[in-house]
Chains A and B, each alone.
Chain A
């Protein structure tokens, strides 16, 4: 199976890429100003106690030793202890990652759904006022800073109209048996709406425009006319032939866009006090919590790489003309 081999080889490559990224971020974080222990210092403490903490974190060792220790630990699946939570970095990161997942995945799916439908509509209405209006609308949404939109929404819908709660992931004090239970609860959904919508505002634009232009390309092809001549009915012409072929670039865009959504989520999370990975990342970077920052970077990097890989192989699968090598 050709595409399988391709997939395998790419996977093999990406392992090395990941290692490269690992090394890179390890050192770039050490280049950042600040000291992990600075956070602990307070007048109540003895000055020398700080050395104690440094030693405990292994920060007193020379950098290259720290690096090799880190790499060997990583190979053993141990990504270090958070300097802030004192819990395994991986656990901390995953706790926050899920929160981001349940926000971004629906946002992306919805916005791509809307994008597809809307884009098709615009393509149909080629040259009309509606098309122009629709495109302007999409472009305006796309060019608005997501945090700004979030702020405005927060202000209007939460603080003035009191329709939605003013941020955070679920009702105050609500406790759940598990994550799934929380996600399935109505309260969670209620909190989800605003961040979801403000995220969608930004991400809708791309699929909308992409679908439109791609459909406009396909719809002029002869095989569409041929299909019409076959008299298989307008609907199946549209879906079997136009959309099926036009969807290719959109699908690939979707795969990569999800990865982008994660790294971009930090702004939304800030505004809506959503305990997601983006916020964790910024916090750990500001607090020089290296293990957490590094691991969250690794996770995102892995996701980016995988998504790109997925996009490519998906394209190869969806479009027989593309021969993957």
Chain B
């Protein structure tokens, strides 16, 4: 009991320290800001966006206002069907966050737990898990995501599943190797001699030392997930009923926005994707400084 409390306290302190270190890094700071902006966008989308992302805007005479240039009325102009691009960007932030965060979370959890177990127990358990990991490694990521989305039907949830079903492999590997080195450390011995069970050792003693690295891979996964979603949507495997930046790009692409010089349809989604993914990488830079102190600047 006492011990557990200590462990928890240690973990908490650990976390605080980690965050402190993370956001000392200038890039990490910038990343955090961007993320916050987009979060606000995503959360208050209906309040911010002047129109619904699928709403066709027509003037008094019922004419569809297609290809409107950016102006006071439409901040980022309209699409060929007369939909507000700004509104789509705002709603797209929701998809980006949902996909990015959930996928990353699943990747983190699965990868970390599997890695911990396989690394800690070793032996045949490790063997089996490693074979599974090999199997998962063997499956081409993007094509398989397409197949899975096709099979399950193109919805955001299925895209998330398709992404996280494969992406945990990285995290798992890294966590495992970490555990392999960690479990030789004295404190594990101490804990065991203090009569701690396997599960406790894994989750109370090892996990706190693992999570910065799994956090790092989690953050990478966010970027990956968002880019993958964009790619899938671009290839036409996206969620037809919801709005995502990738889907916007696809529609712009199919109606040749570039050739028509409708730059205001091509650029905003691309830039939005760049910003959000970039910010995750920035933050990951911060985390890396935590994970290997050698990188810290004097």
Contact = CB atoms under 8 A, between A and B. Distances in A.
Direct touching of A and B (C-beta under 8 Å): yes
Interface in B258-277: 258-259, 266, 270, 273-274, 276-277
A308 B137 contact: yes
Contacts of A142: 277, 281
Interface string A26-48: 00110111000000000000000
Nearest to B134: A17
Interface in B131-178: 131, 134-135, 137-144, 146-148, 150-151
A151 B254 CA distance: 12
B27 interface: yes
B249 A148 contact: yes
Nearest to B270: A148
A201 B147 CA distance: 27
A184 B151 CA distance: 42
Interface stretch (A133-141, A185-193, A236-244): A133-141
B239 interface: no
Contacts of B204: none
Contact of A17 (B138, B231, B249, B274): B138
A29 B148 CA distance: 9
A127 B297 contact: yes
A112 B53 CA distance: 41
Interface stretch (B10-18, B70-78, B109-117, B287-295): B287-295
Contact of B234 (A14, A33, A144, A147): A147
A155 B282 CA distance: 29
Interface residues of A, number: 56
Contacts of B266: 148, 151-152
A29 B146 CA distance: 11
Contacts of A127: 297-298
A125 to B, nearest CB: 12
B134 A14 contact: yes
B131 A267 contact: no
Given A143-B274, A267-B235, A270-B235, A28 B143 contact: no
A159 interface: yes
Given A126-B297, A155-B258, A28 B274 contact: no
Contact of B223 (A143, A262, A282, A308): A143
Interface of A: 13-14, 16-18, 20-21, 24-25, 28-29, 31-33, 126-127, 132, 135-136, 139-140, 142-148, 151-152, 154-155, 159, 213, 216-217, 220, 260, 262-264, 266-267, 270, 278, 281-282, 285, 296-297, 300-302, 304-305, 308
